[in-house]
């Protein structure tokens, strides 16, 4: 019966099918995860602030639990994320006297973090989002203003890739970003990765986060982004996919269930996306959803805290939606 068909099984000749998980969902969504996904990503547990809240303190419990869940159940694990402007503690950039630490100090801290974290999960994490969201969304400015950029300079990105490669020469190293199909931002990401390659930095892939909605981006924009990134000779993954029921300017907060029209459009969109992904299966090595079912999604907290959203292939009871059927029947 189609409802029982495993998503991962349906795409086993194409690419990995992943889900973001957290300490709660590896319990509450256990059966669903085991049946439908063959790759996992920790939603927050492997971020800098979660693992390394103070210079001499590492807190690995939650991340270890997710790594053990992946290992015990034969799931691949993506590591997310080593260097990001967000969810990184202030101590990394402080000189301890109320000022900014200097370049060498911040680089040494970055290296210590990467050595320890990548080293710990060597053999379990097969792929790291080494740097996340380092370019600006719009405007002339290229790299996002951040404490990493401010204290280290532009080469913080290349350095992060070098440190990660030293810590685990077998890991696949990705640059990961959102709004990745927007033509302006797409070119900034392209330029960044090209410049990393020219500097000889070990980069193997680009992660297209895939936080999309019923309208944006267009299929043409997605295709153009895939083609452009693939021209760099790197692997691609969709790393954080969801299809929000709300367009960027949709302010509604009163819906307690998705409308039939929303569900219909979402089915159509998911079908189009996966058809497109299949066309690029030679370069696309994984499609990860940012969650497993609509009972838990970060979009219930963003951009409007408390507004329910239904962006995934399984509903709030973890039952298959029409979008799931559309995708597995391709
Ligand atoms: O840890 C605190 C907890 O102590 C507190 O009780 C609770 C109260 O709200 O907040 C907890 O922190 C939250 C954290 O998730 C852990 O649950 C933060 O408020 C919340 O902002 C944070 O959101 C995460 C977000 O990244 C932060 O930027 C989302 O769960 C996570 O899904 C989201 O993931 C990002 C990717 O890493 C990168 N790409 C975009 C994607 C979506 O924003």
Q: List, for residues 108-148, the tens digit of each pLDDT value.
A: 999 999 999 999 999 999 999 999 999 999 998 999 999 99
Instruction: Name the nearest CA neighbour of 297 among 43, 17, 1.
Output: 43
pLDDT tens digits, 256-287: 999 999 999 999 999 999 999 999 999 999 99
DSSP 138: S
pLDDT tens digits, 240-250: 999 999 998 89
For the CA of 47, the closest atom of ligand 1 is 37
Look at residue 1 in the predicted model and tell me its pLDDT: 41
The mean of the pLDDT values for the chain is 97
**Is the CB–ligand 1 distance for residue 242 below 6 Å?**
no
Residue range 299-304: mean pLDDT, rounded? 95
Does the annotation count 240 as an active-site position?
A: yes
pLDDT tens digits, 102-113: 999 999 999 999
Look at residue 3 in the predicted model and tell me its pLDDT: 56
pLDDT tens digits, 57-89: 999 999 999 999 999 999 999 999 999 999 999
Catalytic residue among 43, 45, 180, 240: 240
**Is the CB–ligand 1 distance for residue 190 below 6 Å?**
no
Helix (H, G, I), strand (E, B) or coil at 177: strand
Q: Residue 2: is its pLDDT beyond 70?
A: no
Residue range 297-321: mean pLDDT, rounded? 97
Ligand 1, atom 23: closest residue by C-alpha: 298
Q: Residue 310: is its pLDDT beyond 80?
A: yes
Q: Where are the alpha helices (DSSP H) in the chain?
A: 7-10, 25-28, 30-36, 48-51, 61-72, 103-120, 147-152, 156-167, 183-198, 219-230, 260-279, 322-328
**Is the CB–ligand 1 distance for residue 24 below 6 Å?**
no
- Quickly state the pLDDT bin for 165 (edges 50, 70, 90): very high
**Is the CB–ligand 1 distance for residue 35 below 6 Å?**
no
Does the annotation count 154 as an active-site position?
A: no
Ligand 1, atom 26: closest residue by C-alpha: 44
> What does the buried/exposed string (b/e) look like for 126-162 if buried means 16 or more CB atoms within 10 Å of the residue's CB?
bbbbbbbbbbbeeeeeebeebbbbebbeebbbbbbbb
**Is the CB–ligand 1 distance for residue 59 below 6 Å?**
no
Compute the C-alpha angle 199/201/204, nearest 5°.
Answer: 130
């Amino acid at each position: 019966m189609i409802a029982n068909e495993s998503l991962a099984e349906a795409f086993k000749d194409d690419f990995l099918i992943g889900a973001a998980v957290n300490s709660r969902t590896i319990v509450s969504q256990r059966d669903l995860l085991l049946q439908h996904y063959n790759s996992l990503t920790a939603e927050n547990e492997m971020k800098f602030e979660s693992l390394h809240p103070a210079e001499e303190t590492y807190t690995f419990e939650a991340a270890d639990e997710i790594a053990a869940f992946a290992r015990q159940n034969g799931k691949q694990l993506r590591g997310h994320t080593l260097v990001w402007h967000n969810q990184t503690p202030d101590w990394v950039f402080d000189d301890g006297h109320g000022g900014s630490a200097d370049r060498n100090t911040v680089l040494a801290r970055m290296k210590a973090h990467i050595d320890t974290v990548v080293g710990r999960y060597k053999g379990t994490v097969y792929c790291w989002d080494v740097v996340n969201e380092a370019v600006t969304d719009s405007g002339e400015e290229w790299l996002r203003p951040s404490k990493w950029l401010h204290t280290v300079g532009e080469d913080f990105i290349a350095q992060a890739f070098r440190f990660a490669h030293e810590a685990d020469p077998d890991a696949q190293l990705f640059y990961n970003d959102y709004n990745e199909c927007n033509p302006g931002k797409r070119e900034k990401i392209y330029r960044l990765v090209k410049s990393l390659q020219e500097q000889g930095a070990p980069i193997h892939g680009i992660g297209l986060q895939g936080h999309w909605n019923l309208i944006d981006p267009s299929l043409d924009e997605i295709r153009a982004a895939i083609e452009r990134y693939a021209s760099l000779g790197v692997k691609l993954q969709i790393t954080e996919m969801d299809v929000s029921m709300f367009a960027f300017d949709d302010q509604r907060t009163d819906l307690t269930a998705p409308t039939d029209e929303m569900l219909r459009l979402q089915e159509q969109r998911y079908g189009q996306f996966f058809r497109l992904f299949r066309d690029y299966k030679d370069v696309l090595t994984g499609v990860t959803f940012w969650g497993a079912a609509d009972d838990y999604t970060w979009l219930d907290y963003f951009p409007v805290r408390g507004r329910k959203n239904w962006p995934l292939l399984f509903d709030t009871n973890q039952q298959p939606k029409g979008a799931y059927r559309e995708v597995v029947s391709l």
